[in-house]
Structure 1
Amino acid sequence: MKKLLLLGAFALLGGMAQAQEGFRLGGHVGAPLGDASDAASVTIGIDAAYMWHITKGLDIGATTGYSHFFGKDNVDDFGFVPIAASGKYTFSKVPLFVGLDLGAAISTRDYINSGLYVAPRVGYQMKNIELYLGFQTISSKYKDHGPYWYDNGRHNFGAVNFGVNFFLK
């Protein structure tokens, strides 16, 4: 009997956990900032996350995606694939939220190293959609590959983004 009750409790808790988690898919478009603005004119990207509901208003999860920077003035396009932890807090009285992604960004070009990825955002929460304004920055090393940077120093590849995410249940 104890085993049956224990099995039932695990099934109930597992069902509750399943009902509170889900996928978030979306995209963003933005204006490059910092060192990226020297070499790129615009950025677009896709975002994917799996979020767990921790407590009222707080979701924690893992996120990935791809941000593509379109090169200008004979600079090749470049991009980053983030692999990060994601957190989001939705306010109870108003449909607004704040969020933060923190992790690593893998470079798609061999002359740009992978680096630290930080992406805070604020947004408007609807039932299955969120609209947000965010900032992303990748702190990385650039490997002396002109035409803009002729050193092996640290650079910040950032952007201000407007995005939309859809929740899949």
Structure 2
Amino acid sequence: MKKLLLLGAFALLGGAAQAQEGFRLGGHVGAPLGDASDAASVTIGVDAAYMWNITKGLDIGVTTGYSHFFGKDHVDDFGFIPIAASGKYKFAKIPLFVGLDLGAAISTKDYINSGLYIAPRVGYQMKRTELYLGFQNISSKYKNHDHYWFGDDKFNFGAVNFGVNFFLK
């Protein structure tokens, strides 16, 4: 009997939590910064997240996606796949929010190591859409002397991005 009651409580709480969760899908375009600006002319990407509403105005979740940097001056294109925790706070009474993604970015090229991923953003919240301006930075290590950068140094592959996300329920 206790197991049945416990199972029922988990089912009830699980249903309540599910009513506050949802997918966020979108894309971004940006201008490379830092070491990335030496080798790339523009970046585009796709974003996907699953968010849970923790309390009024605060959402926490997980995010992934893909950011592609288009190479310039005989540099190959390169990209990163972030896997991160995501947080967003929407201010009461005004349609503005701040957000932060923090985690790891997996490199799609073997001559660039994966690294720490951080992406703060500010934006405008609509009913099922958000527009944002964000900064994306991947702290990584370049590991091949035959390409654009020389030495086994640490690099910051960053970009200022403008993006749009759509909420799917």
TM-score scaled by structure 2? 0.94
Aligned in 2, Cα 1:82/1:3: closer, same or farther, shift over 3 Å? closer
Cα displacement (A) at 1:32: 0.1
Q: % of aligned pairs identical?
A: 86
Long gaps (5+) in structure 2: none
Distance in 1 separating the partners of 2:105 and 2:44: 15
Pairwise mapping of residues 88-127 of structure 1 onto structure 2 (< 5 A)?
88-127=88-127
Runs (4+) of structure 1 exceeding 3 A deviation are 1-11, 144-148
Match of 1:65 in 2: 65
Pairwise mapping of residues 9-158 of structure 1 onto structure 2 (< 5 A)?
9-158=9-158
Distance in 2 separating the partners of 1:4 and 1:162: 50
Aligned in 2, Cα 1:2/1:160: closer, same or farther, shift over 3 Å? same
The more displaced of 57-66 and 143-152 is 143-152
The more displaced of 111-120 and 138-147 is 138-147
Aligned in 2, Cα 1:6/1:136: closer, same or farther, shift over 3 Å? same
Distance in 1 separating the partners of 2:3 and 2:150: 67
CA deviations over 1:81-128 (Å, ceiling 9, x no partner): 000000000001101000000000000000000000000000000111
Please give the secondary structure, in 2, of the residue aligned with 1:17. helix
Long gaps (5+) in structure 1: none
CA deviations over 1:48-90 (Å, ceiling 9, x no partner): 0000110000000000000000000000000000000000000
Cα displacement (A) at 1:139: 0.3
Distance in 2 separating the partners of 1:132 and 1:5: 45
Cα displacement (A) at 1:10: 3.3
Please give the secondary structure, in 2, of the residue aligned with 1:100. strand
Cα displacement (A) at 1:12: 2.8
The amino acid of 1:23's aligned partner reads: F
How many residues are matched?
A: 169
Distance in 2 separating the partners of 1:94 and 1:70: 36
